[in-house]
Amino acid sequence: MANEVIPHSLFSEFDVALFQSGKHFKLYEKFGSHELEVNGEKGVYFAVWAPNAKSVSVTGNFNFWDKEHHALFVRWDGSGIWEGFIPGLGNGETYKYVIQTYTGEQLEKGDPFAFRWEIAPKTASVVHSTWYEWQDKQWMQERAVKNRLDQPWSVYEVHLGSWSRDPESPDTLLNYREIAVQLVSYVKEMNFTHVEFMPLMEHPYYPSWGYQITGYFAASSRYGSAQDLMYLIEELHAAGIGVLLDWVPSHFPGDAHGLYRFDGTSLYEHEDPRKGFHPDWQSYIFNYGRNEVRSFLISNAFYWLDRFHIDGLRVDAVASMLYLDYSRNAGEWIPNEFGGNENLEAVQFLKELNEAVYGHFPDVQTIAEESTSWPSVSRPTYAGGLGFGMKWMMGWMHDTLDYFKEDPINRSYHHDRLTFATVYAFHENFMLPLSHDEVVYGKQSLIYKMPGDEWQKFANLRALYLFMYTFSGTKLLFMGGEFGQTSEWNVNQSLDWHLLEFAPHQGMKQFVADLNAVYKAQPSLYQKAFDAAGFEWIDAGDRENSIVVYWRKGFDSWDDTVVVLNLTPVVREHFRIGLPYAGEWEVLLNSDDLTYFGSGIHNLHIHSEHLHWMNQVQSAQLHLPPLGGYILKRKRAVEEVNPIKQGERIPV
């Protein structure tokens, strides 16, 4: 059996004061289990917050799971922190805390700050280091530019356990390093700018997709160690790809070894179920009014940004945090002090979170998954906002999918669904998501949401993507959508990669890769993504033909592009559109190209005429493809591309 517990502390009085005031944002350096050397002896220091416990002991393999022998010492200052140093222990040691309550309960709890956990269904914490010799210095120096809001954001959303599996062992999850070999090259080939991982924190129930977290400070052991995940992130950075991580400060599960009633009381959650229990997810809501809980959560955000070099956090279920009556009937919720339904404590927490994150990590972004009309989610806190960098544009997603689901013969009656988003598109810094939530639970895959025969389904989906990538806002596409996955997403199996043996899916994949490339190469499509000055309808009213024409603007007018979409299966020959500038125009991307499984309608030469049309002084006639469209850009003359120096002859 290991040696006795020795009194030792990593906490200064200032640390404790910060923790108790909700202002300690690096608690992972203090709480949890840490390998140390004390008085010449190597061992592990343990620290846990359990203010209502009668006693706290450490149990594990090292003491044959004895529940009493290795009791920790409670601090004298009333902070509720129990701590101590056990010589002879080291990396890889499994352990739990045994908490004796004043009501006579004996609880076995995992460590809320553990850096590693056993692989589920086992539930013990593991002593683990997060040391890693990072090799991504260049990316970290450059990301301040790459992550700016006037840069391209094309995000590939990934669930790690179901993106790809070994065909020889389809029930076995690949680890972080194995996935890195395939994922990095694929995302680079597809020209995405960022990857967003669905939650990778430790979670006991795999089908929760990672959204029911018990180990907030641990990379899921299903896929390997913390260092294995760091390697995956480093490889993505080496390929010039940013990494976003889903983060869940909204709720946690009621597993006996987790945060729920951690010291026999509602420590992390509200005692009153009207504020502390989530009816939709049968989970528990953090007590945002408790200073120590805010320190825990903000420290967790810092941990992933600090130790794992994460480039941004997508904050899950923000709406459920903001409203006290979220998914509740009358009488099932408690109004705030002013009688309203706003959760004022959660609002203050989110503001503090964003102020702290941007204050310490100014080159990252936070993104809110917020589905209501709460104002100024992505506006600075000093201007009354919540302080997020971006917000998911759920209204655009629902309206656009509803429109594209319609048979083209009916689309003239639903034209406003396509155009309405510009009414509110610039109220927030919006990200346009086609996420995992849209391809599960009977909602069908994106390709099968589209009407028509096989050719029309693929043409419609290419047109939808063309609209998405050329509309204002940043972009997010869930895995499988890029090649037209036909079945709904199933967390228990790999994507249907075999579909790429077939031409329609090959064409879709190539189209998305080329669309990403054009998006990244054309400043007009991203520089003013959140500014009304970057978008102008040339014609939004042609509901009879289901045609829209719009103008995207960059900082330099030579970068401007025009997009035209024909959303019926009828070829429109000699269709005149207005153009903002005179000259010769070229097609940067044609969603109907034969390469993409299209019909091959194209335009060889586009010359504008001085003919007023669609409120523009220039216009041109085009052949418009069925269920497709173009991105157009005017060509520069040679002398405009390469200005002639004074005294040089202009070449003939």
Residue 430 main-chain phi, psi, to 5 deg: -90, 140
Give which of 638, 522, 512 is closest to 588, Cα–Cα. 522
Please say whether the beta carbons of 428 and 472 come within 8 A: no
| Spatial distance between the Cα atoms of 173 and 165, rounded to a whole number of angstroms | 6
Strand locations in 115-190 (E)? 116-117, 125-126, 154-158
Residues 589-600 as b/e (b if ≥16 CB within 10 A, e otherwise) read bbbbbeebbbbe
Tracing tokens 């102020």 back to the chain, one arrives at 355
CA distance 601 to 591: 10
> Does an H or E element contain 558, and which?
none
Rg (CA), the chain: 28
Q: Dump strand ranges (E) for 427-534.
A: 430-434, 474-478
Q: Which of 228, 234, 316, 514 is catalytic?
A: 316
The residue among 208, 283, 215 whose CA lies nearest residue 250 is: 283
- Pairwise CA distance, residues 603 & 607, whole Å: 11
Check if 453 is active-site.
no
Q: DSSP 3-state assignment of 74?
A: strand
Q: Which residue has the tokens 């655009």?
A: 396
Q: How far is CA 395 from the centre of its chain?
A: 18
Amino acid identity at 341: N
Cβ neighbors of 523 (< 8 A, separation 6 or more) are 554, 555, 556, 559
Question: Which tokens hold the place of 239?
Answer: 């390929």
CB 242 within 8 A of CB 193: yes
157 is catalytic: no
DSSP for residue 55: E
Per-residue burial over 477-490, b if 16 or more Cβ lie within 10 Å, else e, is bbbbbbbbbbeebe
> Rounded to an integer, what distance in angstroms lies between the CA atom of residue 382 and that of residue 385?
7
Those residues with Cβ within 8 angstroms of residue 329's Cβ, 6 or more apart along the chain or in another chain: none
Geometric angle at alpha carbon 504, from 502 and 506, rounded to 5°: 65
Q: List the catalytic residue out of 369, 399, 428, 592.
A: 369
| Cis? peptide before 121, omega within 30° of 0 | yes
> Which pair of tokens denotes residue 166?
């070994």
Active site residues: 316, 369
